[in-house]
Amino acid sequence: MSDSRVDKPDEDEAREVASEDVTSAEESYPDGGKTAWMTLFGCFCSFFAALSMMNSVGVYQSWISQHQLKDETTGDIGWIFGFYNFFSFFAGLPLGPVFDAKGPRVLSCCGAVLLLATYVILGFCQQYWHFFLCFGLLGSLGTCLLFTSAIGTIQHWFLGRRGLATGMAISGGSVGGILSPLILGALLPKIGFAWTMRAMALIMVPFVVVGVLLMRSRLLPTKTSGASFLPDPRILMTPRMAILAIGAFFVELGLFIPMTYITSYAHSHGMSTNTAYRMVMLLNVGSLVGRWLPGWLGDKWGRFNAQIAALSLCLVSVLGIWLPAGHKLAGLTAFVVLFGLGSGSGISLVPVCIGQLCKTEDYGKTFTAIYSIASFGSLIGIPLGGRILQAADNSYLGLIVFVGLAYTIALCCFVAVRAISVGLVSPKRF
């Protein structure tokens, strides 16, 4: 088959395999059917477990900073959650090739054990280094193992509906992000932190079990030498992959700052604790729609086109609503819903954009190579946000402008990848 689903401007691009066309000539994707949808549900459950903690970091940050670590600075506490977000993606660098060769079962089993252990041990944490090792290190490893196995599995089963399928699966994390703040807000004042964490562990058990049982690889495991499990830096040496990695970096840099500090922002403007926790929930409500809608539109209009539109919505919500009107309840509510709607694509659609630029059998190593760069945005975003707040005497003006700048650069990067691939003003679906 010589025709391509996405047109290429030159022969060098063909070596990168900018879409799934070469693979689809050799393989048929189910794009549906009982096994595919059951696998998707398993991925949904895995994302629920993996991302519930990540999508609720604002609640954890607010509680810990007011209780166990009340004597620590905002910037220092931020490193716990920054490292958690960073290592949740960076640790996947050696896991991608393992997934390509062995499938999701081993990774998801290990991730399930580590995540449940994180919740149980977290209840015993009292000091800074306790939280760093438990939440930051152990929790991120569990999240990474579950996330990497689930995101890779989806790519094996869907092509034409890949954007929609990925968004539907990752929306499990948004559901977890909606329920977790409600559960935490209800239990923390009544039974304390330790027992709340044990209750969270019990809630996650059925989800990780279903995820492990239902997720399966469609491609047969391959016999692989030890060297091939190592990451391949050459993946990032092509212009489009390098620019895409930079764009993903700034997406992560901008994403986790509002998600983490929106609770303390609401507190700083006189809103109640319940209202502040509700902002995290509403952000995840917007993200629930934002994780499948851009994917569905991307399948029809082009994945990069949809991602560019989503990033534009993030930029408008930050600089057009949060900056001038976020101090009012109505303005803050509008911001978190619209920002969730736009930012949801950062986790659901960016992986699909990556899949458009590589073969399916190389997806694991390509995804983890790009997110090894993007993960540094997660690492520095939260603590850098804390430092900005400290420098500005807890004024959020500089923090909001910084988030807007991050999304501006991310938007420019995705526009650049599209321009390299099909031209800047081309009406082609890409």
CA gyration radius, the chain: 20
**How high does pLDDT run on average in the chain?**
83
User: Do the beta carbons of residue 198 and residue 119 sit within 8 Å?
Assistant: yes
User: Do the beta carbons of residue 271 and residue 408 sit within 8 Å?
Assistant: no
The residue type at 286: G
pLDDT number for residue 36:
86
pLDDT band at 177 (very low <50, low <70, confident <90, very high): confident
pLDDT number for residue 26:
40
226 pLDDT higher than 50: no
Using DSSP's 3-state secondary structure scheme, residue 19 falls into coil
pLDDT band at 231 (very low <50, low <70, confident <90, very high): low
* Tally of domains in the chain: 1
Whether residue 357 lies inside any domain: the answer is: yes
Give the residue among 292, 298, 305 at the shortest CA–CA distance from 344: 292
Give the residue among 372, 357, 353 at the shortest CA–CA distance from 307: 353
Whether residue 430 lies inside any domain: the answer is: no
Give the residue among 190, 154, 119 at the shortest CA–CA distance from 46: 154
The C-alpha atoms of residue 242 and residue 59 are separated, in whole angstroms, by 34
pLDDT band at 409 (very low <50, low <70, confident <90, very high): very high
Whether residue 428 lies inside any domain: the answer is: no
pLDDT number for residue 219:
64
Give the residue among 166, 196, 137 at the shortest CA–CA distance from 43: 166
The C-alpha atoms of residue 111 and residue 146 are separated, in whole angstroms, by 5
The C-alpha atoms of residue 190 and residue 102 are separated, in whole angstroms, by 44
Average pLDDT over residues 309-319: 94
Whether residue 5 lies inside any domain: the answer is: no
CATH number for the domain spanning 279: value is 1.20.1250.20
pLDDT number for residue 307:
92
pLDDT number for residue 159:
79
pLDDT number for residue 222:
54
- The conformation of residue 218, written as its DSSP 8-state character, comes to S
pLDDT band at 133 (very low <50, low <70, confident <90, very high): very high
Residues 350-401: tens digit of each pLDDT:
888 888 887 777 777 787 788 888 888 888 888 888 889 888 888 899 999 9
User: 194 or 348: whose pLDDT is higher?
Assistant: 194
Whether residue 429 lies inside any domain: the answer is: no
Whether residue 3 lies inside any domain: the answer is: no
- The per-residue DSSP string of 134-177 comes to IIIIIIHHHHHHHHHHHHHHHHHH-STTHHHHHHHHHHHHHHHH
Give the residue among 386, 398, 286, 272 at the shortest CA–CA distance from 334: 286
Whether residue 6 lies inside any domain: the answer is: no
Question: Biggest alpha carbon distance in the chain?
Answer: 64
User: Do the beta carbons of residue 91 and residue 378 sit within 8 Å?
Assistant: no
- The conformation of residue 101, written as its DSSP 8-state character, comes to H
The encoded tokens of residue 3 equal 């025709």
pLDDT band at 127 (very low <50, low <70, confident <90, very high): very high
Residue 114 belongs to domain spanning: 11-422
Q: What angle do CA 238, 244, 249 make, to 5 degrees?
A: 130
pLDDT number for residue 116:
95
Whether residue 189 lies inside any domain: the answer is: yes
pLDDT band at 331 (very low <50, low <70, confident <90, very high): very high
User: 168 or 89: whose pLDDT is higher?
Assistant: 168
pLDDT number for residue 191:
93
**Range with the lowest mean pLDDT among 175-184, 225-234, 331-340, 367-376?**
225-234
pLDDT number for residue 28:
67
232 pLDDT higher than 80: no
